[in-house]
């Protein structure tokens, strides 16, 4: 196992009717900016629950953060933070609202001229404005990690940021929120969390037995609950396992002491930036090609995953590894997720070259667990995903 340090300061408040506990978590003298998305919380009752819980606090609201949180919209929210002397942020939403709030947490205390620099210059946020979250969509793990991904439509960019100052102080996870999530977003959440585990697992064996089994157990749980969640999102038992699996998939725990990849996300983010494809779906497009292209380097772990997660017991390591990729594709299809770029756009010619060029320009010349995935290899993988 590699050396590691692990600190995750986010307090999780999990369970039925936990939104009412909000008021105990925010300082009484705080001036709160309540941030939300396109309005789903007003239809499903979450907004009312939050407002009731915040009744004794001073609250200003900012709604309209779109999926793939947009920089231009967030700058409007930043203006409100400054004009209203806001001291605490509360995100009520999925990954987009939470990520947008993380950007604002960083930008509110940022002393530079242009907050976009935080993303392009990789500025780590050591201290941000304090914030908490009420999670409405299990998927990204953003509720218990310190990363954020922000989109800028003007330049068709989608870039990541983070730092130890960007962990939420608390996150409320009430699995009942799942009842109102549309099927498309449920499938996205399952696929995103599943791929988060793969990114931190599908590398090479390092003998970290416990991390491997943490990862495998999250994958097995997602596979087991996926049909139940899709069939009946009001199934509280399944919703609970789904929600906690998504959080555990990306709260830092399973990546400690092991090599990680994250190239699927790097390529996937470009597909969202270029075509607006849902984040999770871009991962399902890239992952199979990525694992086929890097088969030799990853086959030991692919075979272990095949054996332990999909019960593939027959054949050689190569056979098991190949069958494991096929099982993964079948799983995405079972969720209703297409796995080829051409399923999402007819305009895909030239995409691989464009992504490869972008990576070269950004100096991303060696992605993956061996820092050996060069832009020319990225180009080949994306082409395989057409």
Nearest partner of 96 among 128, 73, 126, 123, judged by Cα: 73
Query: Which backbone phi and psi does 89 adopt, to 5 degrees?
Result: -110, 140
Report the alpha-carbon distance of residue 141 to residue 135 in Å, rounded. Answer: 10
Residue 44 touches ligand NZQ, criterion: CB under 6 A = yes
**Which residues are bridge partners to 135 per DSSP?**
93
Can you give the length of the chain in residues? 386
Q: Work out what residue 168 binds among Zn ion, ligand NZQ, none; the CB cut-off runs from 5 to 8 Å by kind.
A: none
Which residue has the CB atom at the shortest distance from Zn ion?
192
Nearest CB to ligand NZQ, comparing residues 188 and 200: 188
Angle between helices 263-275 and 183-199 (to 10 degrees): 150
The one segment of 33-41, 185-193, 293-301, 330-338 that binds Zn ion by CB under 5 A: 185-193
Instruction: Pick what 40 binds: ligand NZQ, Zn ion, none; C-beta below 5 to 8 Å, kind-dependent.
Output: ligand NZQ
Q: Which segments of the chain does DSSP mark as H helices, in order?
A: 22-25, 40-43, 46-53, 71-83, 95-109, 117-120, 183-199, 209-231, 236-249, 263-275, 279-293, 295-310, 317-334, 351-362, 375-384
How big is the site for ligand NZQ, counted in residues (CB under 6 A)?
33
Binding span for ligand NZQ by CB under 6 A among 38-46, 212-220, 323-331, 360-368: 38-46
Site string for ligand NZQ, 218-247 (x = CB under 6 A): ------------------------------
Q: Residue 28's CB: how many other CB atoms inside 10 A?
A: 9
- Cβ proximity to Zn ion: between 192 and 261 the closer is 192
Task: Based on the shown chain and the rule CB under 5 A, indicate whether residue 192 belongs to the binding site for Zn ion.
Answer: yes
Q: Output the CA torsion sign for 171, 175, 180, 184.
A: positive
Q: By CB under 6 A, is residue 136 in contact with ligand NZQ?
A: yes
Q: What are phi and psi of 135, to 5 degrees?
A: -80, 130
140, 240, 294, 356: which one contacts ligand NZQ (CB under 6 A)?
140
Please say whether the dihedral angle defined by the alpha carbons of residues 278, 280, 283 and 288, taken in this order, is positive or negative: negative
Q: Establish if 10 lies at the interface with ligand NZQ (CB under 6 A).
A: no
Say if residues 220 and 309 touch (Cβ distance below 8 Å): yes
Does position 216 interact with Zn ion (CB under 5 A)? The reply is no
Give the shortest CB-190-to-ligand NZQ separation in angstroms. Answer: 10
Instruction: Report the C-alpha gap between 82 and 85 in whole angstroms.
Output: 5
Q: Is the dihedral of CA 364, 365, 368, 371 positive or negative?
A: negative
Nearer to ligand NZQ, 158 or 298 (CB): 158
Residues 6+ apart with CB under 8 A from 226: 190, 242, 331, 334, 335
Residue number, 136 or 307, with CB nearest to ligand NZQ: 136
Cβ at position 145, least distance to ligand NZQ in Å = 5
Residue 270 interacting with Zn ion (CB under 5 A): no
What does 148 interact with, of Zn ion, ligand NZQ, none (CB < 5 to 8 A by kind)?
ligand NZQ
Residue 128 interface partner, choices ligand NZQ, Zn ion, none, CB cut-off 5-8 Å depending on type: none
* Interaction of residue 39 with ligand NZQ, rule CB under 6 A: yes
Q: Do 300 and 374 contact (CB within 8 A), yes or no? A: no
Which parts of 149-168 interact with ligand NZQ (CB under 6 A)?
149
* Chain residues in the site for ligand NZQ (CB under 6 A): 37-41, 44, 67-68, 93-97, 99, 136-137, 139-142, 145, 147-149, 177, 180-181, 185, 188, 192, 250, 265, 279
Q: Interface residues with Zn ion (CB under 5 A)?
A: 192
């Amino acid at each position: 196992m590699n050396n590691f340090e692990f600190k995750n300061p986010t307090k999780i408040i999990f369970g039925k009717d936990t939104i009412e506990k909000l008021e105990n978590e925010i300082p009484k003298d705080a001036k709160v900016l309540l941030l939300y998305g396109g309005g789903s919380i007003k239809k499903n009752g979450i907004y009312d629950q939050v407002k009731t819980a915040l009744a004794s606090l001073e609250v200003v609201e900012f709604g309209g953060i779109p999926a793939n949180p947009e920089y231009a919209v967030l700058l409007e929210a930043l203006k409100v933070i400054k004009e209203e002397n806001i001291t605490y942020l509360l995100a009520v939403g999925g990954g987009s609202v939470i990520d947008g709030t993380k950007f604002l947490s960083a930008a509110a205390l940022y002393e530079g001229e242009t907050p976009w620099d935080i993303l392009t210059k990789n500025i780590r946020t050591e201290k941000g404005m304090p914030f908490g979250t009420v999670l409405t969509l299990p998927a990204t793990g953003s509720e218990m990690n310190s990363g954020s991904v922000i989109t800028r439509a003007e330049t068709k960019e989608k870039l990541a940021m983070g730092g130890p100052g960007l962990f939420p102080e608390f996150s409320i996870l009430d699995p009942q929120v799942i009842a109102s999530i549309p099927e498309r977003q449920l499938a996205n959440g399952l696929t995103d969390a599943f791929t988060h585990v793969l990114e931190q697992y599908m590398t090479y064996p390092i003998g970290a037995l416990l991390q491997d089994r943490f990862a495998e157990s999250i994958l097995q749980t997602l596979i087991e609950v996926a049909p139940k969640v899709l069939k009946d999102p009001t199934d509280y038992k399944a919703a609970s396992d789904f929600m906690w699996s998504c959080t555990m998939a990306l709260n830092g725990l399973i990546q400690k002491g092991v090599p990680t990849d994250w190239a699927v996300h790097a390529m996937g983010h470009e597909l969202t930036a270029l075509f607006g494809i849902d984040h999770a779906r871009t991962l399902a497009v890239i992952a199979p090609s990525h694992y086929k292209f890097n088969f030799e380097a990853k086959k030991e772990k692919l075979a272990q995953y095949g054996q332990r997660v999909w019960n593939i017991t027959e054949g050689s390591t190569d056979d098991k590894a190949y069958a494991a990729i096929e099982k993964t594709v079948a799983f995405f299809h079972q969720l209703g997720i297409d796995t080829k770029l051409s399923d999402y756009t007819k305009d895909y010619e030239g995409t691989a070259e464009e992504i490869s060029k972008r990576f070269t320009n950004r100096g991303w010349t060696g992605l993956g667990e061996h820092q050996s995935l060069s832009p020319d290899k990225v180009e080949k993988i994306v082409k395989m995903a057409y």
